[in-house]
Structure 1
Amino acid sequence: MKKLLLATCLLFPVISFSQKSVPHAKIYDLLLGGYTGPNATKGITVYRFNAETGQATLLNQLDGVENPDFLAISNNHKFVYACNVDTKGGEGSVSAFKFDYLTGKLELINKQPGGGSNPVHIILDKGDKNVLVSFYSSGSLTVLPVNKDGSLGTVSQTLQYTGSGPHKNQKGPHVHASLFSADGSKLMVADLGTNKIDLYNYDAAKVQPLTPDNPAFKMTAPGDGPRHMEFSPDKKFLYVIQELSAFVRVYSYNDNKLAFVQTIAMMPDGYDKNGAADVHLTPDGNFLYASVRGNADKIVLYNVDKQSGKLTFVERYDVSKAPRGFTIDPTGSFLLSAGQDGNTINIFKIDKASGKLTLTDNKIDIPQITCLKWVAVK
């Protein structure tokens, strides 16, 4: 029986467990990445995680990787890709690594210029043919081909966005994330700066695989700032977190078309320092969680109506400061919230009947973590 491995952008040890003590435990690997520096992380770190006890232990660490603020894992789990931020404002880059899920060992293959500034998100297509990188500061998205040995080629396509929005943080385009449809033929791109979800056709056989769809975009509300997106497990609904308004917008997705369903607030009326960040659903699709930073530092829980896709607010939970990234383990048993500025990953137990969270005594003390990912282990 195949086991899943955990790949998440986070770092440094603090917990241990014994695999032998739980013979049939569900064990995963967790990859962590974030910002590097004297008081930050060292590079990319791999933990082993027990999904029955919620305990984690350091497995391996690759130092010297510059600001790997977001990671992507190849579908065969043999390679890891990281976007590297130049904190001085220069061009970002993209790194490729060999990955051994048994030992957690990472080995650099090559590194390429990314073609934009301040990369904040990276994904691969279904066939591991290309990586797609979102650049916040330059407001662009680039495509880099992946070679058979896992190495990266040079940029093959660049999409440069234009426009602005009414919010003070929307003076220009800010591409924040992209997401493929289930069959990989469509791509959605969240532009925080222009309040748009740009829509594309995707053909991996072409050197420049992206062409505008019809319609070419879907508008959100003025000042929303679309950031991260996730499909429901049945792929019928798309959930988009809005960084600047701290709302979650719900869309139905039928025949490759988005239709608006609902907008729901993350914070009470009057909350004006918004910084919504990440959004994830449980594997069964019953519950959605979203994180908000600003002066809130919360994980927000919603019930999901699977027929309509609509959300109902349940509770908010305090987490370590600046929860830019969080993840749910593949069994749906634990939620791990990374406090980028609190330097701690909180580990919550999920009640599978209600979705409610209970903070455990387990945690990972790691500075400046920004992304968390899961990877299947054979």
Structure 2
Amino acid sequence: MAQNTQHQTALVGTWTSIPDAPAVQKPAHPSEGLYRLQVNSDGTLTPLDVIKMKSPSWIVKSHDGRFAYTTNEENAGAVTALAIDPSGAVRVLNVVDSHGQQPTHATISPDGKFLFVANYSVAKGGAGVAVFPIHSDGKLGEQVQHVPFEAGSGVVKDRQDGGHAHSTTFTPDGKYLYAADLGADKLHAYRYEAGRAEPLQADSTRDVTFAPGSGPRHMVFSPDGKHAYVITEMAGEIVVFTANDDRLTKVTSVKLNPDNSAAEYKSGGGIILSPQGHYIIAANRGSDNHLLVFKIGQDGSPGTPKRYKADGIEPRAFSFDASGKHLYVANVFTNSITLFDFDESSGELKPRGVAATISTPTDIKFFN
């Protein structure tokens, strides 16, 4: 359901060092941290200020929108807690060690008690899931649990020599957490019990193993909780599962680019649901750089996608604003946030061009 968009602001996460990649369009200046923008009634964005910090690459909102948490994706990984004032102003509350390297994703438990951080770690040995209590004032407490991801599948050289935690996702009933391990081609399942000193308890009977070299990255559940969709980075697919008693059973998989099987055209990125849950929106990066919109059928399966140019290179993450009518895409390598109008009835995206120019943007989230 569309929400009131008055006084809506956007936070844009970034990498504060410029990637050394051939497709990067070098910005005039590196990013300085977390950027705050005003969302105008027509969907355009007006820059307001920047909260200086290192590589706030992923942003997660508290359930009531009063707080936010960023993963600071550096070799010495950190997590920053932020207060979002009613005026939209942002204050840093505290910073904690992520107990790993290159944290790329975080999620909050449905009960709001803990933050679960995925330390990706480019180098072998710094990957895993770290668990932090969230205090009533929004600050993060010291880590209460660490689950290392050590073994990789070894299939894709330099990408799977060790484990790589890429995201953490709760089942709709809040009883289980699934952690995507790109390095091991697995989803690790954990039972969540908030009252325990260490709230995650491994349940290997619910683990999911993917085809070798797939690289599971992010996942979402259907609104009714009966299906799960996992985007794979190296295989360039969406893998569809039925969910029953929080157990996942594979149903099918859909290629992000069925017309080109070359490795450079397989680079799955973000995956989200449309505001009313009727569509899956996913990104394929690499040499493709398209957004795909899949209508979810009554049986939970995604239909044939409509493909749209992302209007940028490396569309890493994307979000709808509170109106549900505007989709914003963070294109890392072209230093741009691109804007699309979205029609929930048809699933169509209409490109509106560049909404903001920000160095190496990696994520965007909305607050009001």
TM-score, structure 2 as length reference: 0.89
Q: Among residues 83, 87, 93, which one is paired with 1:109 in the alignment?
A: 93
Give the CA deviation at 1:26: 5.9
CA contact (8 A) 1:252 1:309 kept: no
Pairing of 1:360-375 with structure 2 (within 5 A): 360-361=352-353, 363-375=355-367
Report the counterpart of residue 204 of structure 1 in structure 2: 194
Report the counterpart of residue 299 of structure 1 in structure 2: 291
Q: Among residues 163, 174, 178, which one is paired with 1:173 in the alignment?
A: 163
Give the CA deviation at 1:290: 1.0
With over 3 angstroms needed to count, the CA separation of the structure-2 counterparts of 1:127 and 1:308, relative to structure 1, is closer
Report the counterpart of residue 133 of structure 1 in structure 2: 117
State whether structure 2 residue 346 is matched by structure 1 residue 347: no
Identify which of structures 1 and 2 has the higher relative contact order when contacts are C-alpha pairs closer than 8 Å and 6+ apart.
1
Give unmatched runs, 5+ long, in structure 1.
5-24
User: What do the CA deviations read for 1:128-172 (whole angstroms, capped 9, x no partner)?
Assistant: 211111011122110011222221111110001232221121111
Give the CA deviation at 1:281: 1.6
Report the counterpart of residue 144 of structure 1 in structure 2: 132
With over 3 angstroms needed to count, the CA separation of the structure-2 counterparts of 1:2 and 1:33, relative to structure 1, is same
Q: For 2:156 and 2:137, how far apart are their aligned partners in 1?
A: 44
Q: For 1:2 and 1:191, how far apart are their aligned partners in 2?
A: 34
CA contact (8 A) 1:3 1:27 kept: no
Give the CA deviation at 1:344: 0.8
User: What do the CA deviations read for 1:219-269 (whole angstroms, capped 9, x no partner)?
Assistant: 111111000111122222111110011111111112211111210001123
SS of alignment partner, residue 215 of structure 1? helix
State whether structure 2 residue 95 is matched by structure 1 residue 122: no
Q: For 2:2 and 2:318, how far apart are their aligned partners in 1?
A: 24
State whether structure 2 residue 261 is matched by structure 1 residue 270: yes
CA contact (8 A) 1:123 1:132 kept: yes
Q: Of Structure 1 and Structure 2, which has the larger fraction of its residues in strand? A: 1
Q: For 1:311 and 1:177, how far apart are their aligned partners in 2?
A: 25
With over 3 angstroms needed to count, the CA separation of the structure-2 counterparts of 1:2 and 1:336, relative to structure 1, is closer
Counterpart of 2:144 in structure 1: which amino acid?
Answer: S
Counterpart of 2:269 in structure 1: which amino acid?
Answer: A
Pairing of 1:163-242 with structure 2 (within 5 A): 163-165=151-153, 166-168=155-157, 169-213=159-203, 215-242=205-232
Q: CA RMSD in A?
A: 2.1
Q: For 1:155 and 1:348, how far apart are their aligned partners in 2?
A: 39
With over 3 angstroms needed to count, the CA separation of the structure-2 counterparts of 1:265 and 1:27, relative to structure 1, is farther
With over 3 angstroms needed to count, the CA separation of the structure-2 counterparts of 1:26 and 1:150, relative to structure 1, is closer
Q: For 1:93 and 1:249, how far apart are their aligned partners in 2?
A: 31
Counterpart of 2:260 in structure 1: which amino acid?
Answer: D
Give the CA deviation at 1:41: 2.2
Q: For 2:339 and 2:30, how far apart are their aligned partners in 1?
A: 20
Give the CA deviation at 1:312: 2.0
Q: Name the count of aligned residue pairs.
A: 350
State whether structure 2 residue 254 is matched by structure 1 residue 255: no
Counterpart of 2:171 in structure 1: which amino acid?
Answer: S
CA contact (8 A) 2:336 2:354 kept: no
Give the CA deviation at 1:214: 5.2
Counterpart of 1:36 in structure 2: which amino acid?
Answer: T
Q: For 1:339 and 1:210, how far apart are their aligned partners in 2?
A: 34
With over 3 angstroms needed to count, the CA separation of the structure-2 counterparts of 1:303 and 1:76, relative to structure 1, is closer
Q: For 1:235 and 1:152, how far apart are their aligned partners in 2?
A: 29
Report the counterpart of residue 7 of structure 1 in structure 2: none
Q: For 1:310 and 1:79, how far apart are their aligned partners in 2?
A: 34
Give unmatched runs, 5+ long, in structure 2.
18-27
TM-score, structure 1 as length reference: 0.87
Give the CA deviation at 1:40: 2.7
Report the counterpart of residue 11 of structure 2 in structure 1: 31
